[in-house]
Amino acid sequence: MRVLRVFIVGAVLAVIAILSGIVQDVRDAQAIPAFARKYDFACNVCHVPGFPKLNDFGNVFRDQGYQLGTDGDLPTFEALGKGFWPVSLRTTVGYQVADLRLNGQSVTTSGFGFTGLDVLSFGTLARNLSFGVVFTPGLHDAGFGTGSSVEESDLESAFVRVLNLERFVGGAENTYLMNLKVGKFELDLPFSEKRSPTLNTPYLIYHFTPFGTANPFGLGDNQPGIELTGIKRTDMTGGYLRYSLGGFTTNGGSFGDVSGRSAYFYGHVTQSFGGYGIVAGQRIGAFVLAGNAPTLCPASTGGGAIPAGGCPQPGSGTQGEPFRRVGVDVSLTYGGQWNLFGVWMFANDSSNLITTVSGLPAQNAHWNGGFIELNYNPIQLPKWLFIYRYDWITNTQQGDPAVPGNVLNEQGHTIMARYYIHQSTRTDLALHAEYNSSRIGGGGVTGNEYTQTTLVGFDFAF
């Protein structure tokens, strides 16, 4: 079996090398196809060097509600081709090997498979009215056979955005200082997890929860709420000032079955210099999240702590207890081909969100973490993208005083190589190779857990 795995991985890497030498006549049009079909321009106008990572122009285009400021933005524009439909589909097929080592025991799983399916639709309803919908259908066999299957369908995103609100109070047209979004969507994270080219390794800080916590919040999960954003070109810096202020509820998103009547707030501000800070220039930012997570069912439904399946009356959880997230982010570029970026975040969960296993009184859980990622898109090899990322989680105070400090401390290393085989205004195909290793501390509770995962396959959208 090991010989078969080595052969398959080696064969795919050989194909990458061959294709990089012989596929030279493919049109350089690199993008998620829906917008490429609409505007009939090369997808690398918005992406680096292909889907899903956005370049500077692509980020501004997104911030302005998928508008260029021309008549071509309108869905009724007469020059739009009859074949245009603002829907794209994306999935990944390939071969994955995963190794888990715990307490001296090792388990290896492997197999061919696919990651699932995203059905995406983004665009404009009218001038300064944009929308987004992402549907993930339930697919029993997704996950390469090495992880949990995706069996339940979900409307991952569904929002409407009203842009350029300042025009209603005498402001100038198309300045995009006040834009209102309502629905379910990704928070304005320092670096979007949905736009990351890495397929197998999520950012740890976006999904970490402390030992014993009853707070299921994940920063990377799409959340239901309302958000006010703005972007302004700053001539003095040659960059952009951006802000995002959002209010979100706990009746969905991360909170799922344990949803309740609590709320939380998130804010993020950035300033860039000499560009947007992804391909050109530099960018700095700061973000804060403060909220309450429901912990009890109301007395009218029996009271007590919220069970795993939620309160008898869905969404009725009460007695919200506080949690906080505060962080800074930075993005540096060099030569139009290097992008180094990272985040450092500090977190606190109330002791009332912690259930101890020792019987000792709970205390607030404190932890910090982050990531540093380097992206390299060589000028000499424009169809290639290389990534290295280091993630870490450090618990500075466990919620259970008896739990060793290094329990659930985590470190991860990710290496990715991606070659864009084919791009057009209708279809995109990339050959993808990704390796990840991680270590999770167990202290005296369990042994340290080591995992290694390798994925080679084809990532495509149409």
CA separation, residue 284 to residues 123, 154, 269, 344 (Å): 29, 34, 9, 12
How would residue 149 be classed by pLDDT, with cut points 50, 70 and 90? low
pLDDT in tens, 289-329: 999 999 888 877 777 888 877 888 888 888 889 999 999 99
Residue 419: name the closest of 408, 407, 406, 433 by CA.
433
Q: What is the pLDDT of the chain when averaged over all its residues?
A: 86
Mean pLDDT over 187-211 rounds to: 93
* pLDDT for 256 beyond 80: yes
Pick the CATH number of 2-461 from 3.30.70.100, 2.40.160.10, 2.40.160.20, 2.60.40.3500: 2.40.160.10
- Predicted local distance difference test score (pLDDT) of residue 14: 47
**Mean pLDDT of all residues in 4-19:** 45
pLDDT recorded at residue 445:
62
Is pLDDT of 27 > 60? no
pLDDT > 70: percent of the chain:
89
Average pLDDT over residues 218-247: 95
User: pLDDT-derived band of residue 39, with 50, 70 and 90 as boundaries?
Assistant: confident
Ordered by start, the domain boundaries in the chain are 2-461
pLDDT tens for 93-143 read: 999 999 999 887 889 999 999 988 999 999 889 989 999 999 999 888 888
